[in-house]
Amino acid sequence: MTAIAHQAPQHLRSVSARRDAEAIARRKEALARLAARRMPLPGHQIQTSRSGQPLGLGHRPGHPHLHRAVAVPATTDIPEVAAAPAVDRAKPNLTSREVEVLRTWMLGDSKPAVAQELYISLGTVNTHLTRIRAKYAEIGRPAPTKASLVARAIQDGIMTLDEL
């Protein structure tokens, strides 16, 4: 009975060590996949591998395109051909009130707070944001999330990074 009691903690330690090692390996793989991702900006071409697959894509181990993406160092420069001048970027025709709602929402915590600060209803805030998103989608620069709207506002000079 004592021999079994002494082996159980040792077995648990080896299982725990194996799990820790597997977790570290999974974490390293996830970080490598994250470092290899590239988010294309509007007006930029997506870099592709020789086989035509986009670089930086793939989410599951064992997929051939994942291995190509992970092999690309995170410091790879985007080719000169891919960079489009900011002047060529189409800007939506936002009203001054839409810009005001957009800026207030980006600097605020929530839509109800925006409504209260601008003395409008929550429905009006939502309507303005829906129209802003539609205008960006119309010109081929969709912005379905708050983060993408922030990116578009910075690209268009509506806000600066320092203001955030």
pLDDT digits (tens, 9 = 90+) for 38-72: 666 666 655 555 655 555 444 455 555 544 444 44
Measure the CA–CA gap between 34 and 26, rounded to whole angstroms.
12
Confidence of residue 119 (pLDDT cuts 50, 70, 90): very high
The answer to whether residues 51 and 69 touch, using CB atoms and an 8 Å cutoff, is: no
pLDDT for position 33: 80
Q: What is the mean pLDDT of the chain?
A: 76
Q: Where are the domains of the chain?
A: 2-82, 90-163
The pLDDT of residue 38: 66
- Give this prediction's pTM: 0.49
User: So what's the pLDDT on residue 13?
Assistant: 76
The CA dihedral of 66, 72, 74, 80, to the nearest 10 degrees, is -120
Q: Is 54 helix (H, G, I), strand (E, B) or coil?
A: strand
Q: Which CATH architecture has domain 90-163?
A: Orthogonal Bundle (1.10)
74-104 pLDDT tens trace: 444 544 444 444 557 889 999 999 999 999 9
Measured CA to CA, the distance from residue 118 to residue 107 in angstroms comes to 13
What is the average pLDDT across 107-125?
94
